[in-house]
Amino acid sequence: MRELAGIVALFAGLWLAAAEAGFRSPESLVRNVYAYYGQGAPELSKGLPRDGATARQFFDPSLRKAWFAPRTEPYDFLVQSPSWKLGPVTIAVVRRQYDKTYVAANFDNRGRRVTLNFILVNGPEGWLITDVESPHDSLRMFLEQFRN
């Protein structure tokens, strides 16, 4: 009986750890990124936070440290501007290729059309961002370029 309780506790702990990171679908991950760029509650309209908890929830291990490392960047890569007033965000799975899924996010930011391609991986933690591509750059290159 004690062994069964230990196994149940182990699985409960693993479930809670998995619930802290990742998302159930590629679309929900991207939708949750842009929830931080709304016009609602102040805590949800400052952009995607640059802390460890957010990095674990949204990014794969290879991108986490770069996300919350100190840096001076001229704009927020995820909206392609230092400020934002986003129109409706459309999200569509563009391609599934081996272990990666490519999701396009399209929106207007202050009247300027923005298209970004999220490259997502699905692992034990759920769906996570491994990179984001703009027509001119990628999130990985951007974070590397502006790190302190």
**pLDDT tens, residue by residue, 40-49:** 666 667 899 9
The reply to whether the predicted model has a pTM over 0.75 is yes
Mean local confidence (pLDDT), 86-98: 94
What residue spans of the chain are helical by DSSP H?
2-20, 26-34, 52-58, 61-68, 139-145
What does DSSP assign to residue 21?
Answer: S
- Three-state SS for 39-54 is CCCHHHCCCCCCCHHH
Lowest mean pLDDT among 30-44, 74-88, 112-126: 30-44
